[in-house]
Amino acid sequence: MIVKRSLVLASGIALVSLCAAQPASAADVFSLSSKTFKDGTMLPKKASNAPAATNPNPNCVGENVSPELSWSGAPDGTKSFVLLMEDPEGRGGAGVHHMVTYGIDAKVTGFAEGELSKPSEKFVGGKATQGTGIYNGPCTPGNVQPHHYTFVLVATDLDVKELAPGLTREELLPKLVPAAPAPSHAKGSAGIVGLFVKPAN
């Protein structure tokens, strides 16, 4: 399980390996954590997406309450953060981008439970696979291995209003890490993985 989690975190969000390395002491390591769940453990049922009013997905069994997330040790020169949530096993391995947010001011050090589930002045909403600019919780089917929901926080040197709203993940990443010889705007990254599968009852 530890090996699989490491591979998912490394391959599910390729940007992690592209970010510039930053020397730091153990106390200053750029890290992402949550009071809602521990890295590599199950997300609570309330974090699953809520059933839609029309044509509901039976695998959406929660309340779409985004988990609490907090971070520390941002690299020097950070002006804003990008926060992504990815399910690399979703859509038959094609992946589901559950959240694409950016323009988070460097002064921000986290989000409370449910804060990412609705629009906020604290972040710019991109465009997730579901078409929204906010958190979209898991709708993992039952009777499968739990999917690995990977949250990745990227520190950037971009101003908070530099990127237009509504960018997809595919549109966002080249702006953070352009093709050489253009310099990377990613200063560093941190991640955490939550598991989810539809409960048996």
Tens of pLDDT, residue by residue over 175-188, are 999 999 999 999 99
Residue 11 has pLDDT above 50, yes or no: no
Domain that holds residue 7: 2-21+28-196
| Residue 52 placed within a domain | yes
| Residue 85 placed within a domain | yes
Tens of pLDDT, residue by residue over 47-91, are 999 998 777 899 999 999 999 999 999 999 999 999 999 999 999
pLDDT at 27: 56
Query: What CATH number should be reported for the domain holding residue 54?
Result: 3.90.280.10
* CA 51 vs CA 40, 136, 139: distances in Å: 25, 11, 9
Question: Which residues, at least 6 apart from 184, have a Cβ–Cβ distance to it below 8 Å?
Answer: 18, 19, 20, 176, 177, 178
pLDDT at 172: 98
Tens of pLDDT, residue by residue over 110-125, are 999 999 999 999 999 9
| Residue 175 placed within a domain | yes
d(CA 137, CA 196): 10
| Residue 201 placed within a domain | no
pLDDT at 56: 84
| Residue 189 placed within a domain | yes
Residue 131: pLDDT band with limits 50, 70, 90 = very high
pLDDT at 9: 42
| Residue 111 placed within a domain | yes
Mean pLDDT across 124-132: 97
pLDDT at 58: 92
| Residue 92 placed within a domain | yes
pLDDT at 8: 44
Instruction: Kindly provide the b/e burial profile for residues 150-185, where b requires at least 16 CB atoms within 10 angstroms of the residue's own CB.
Output: bbbbbbbbbebeebeeebebeebbebbbeeeeeeeb
Domain count, the chain: 1
| Residue 14 placed within a domain | yes
pLDDT at 13: 42
Tens of pLDDT, residue by residue over 139-188, are 999 989 999 999 999 999 999 999 999 999 999 999 999 999 999 999 99
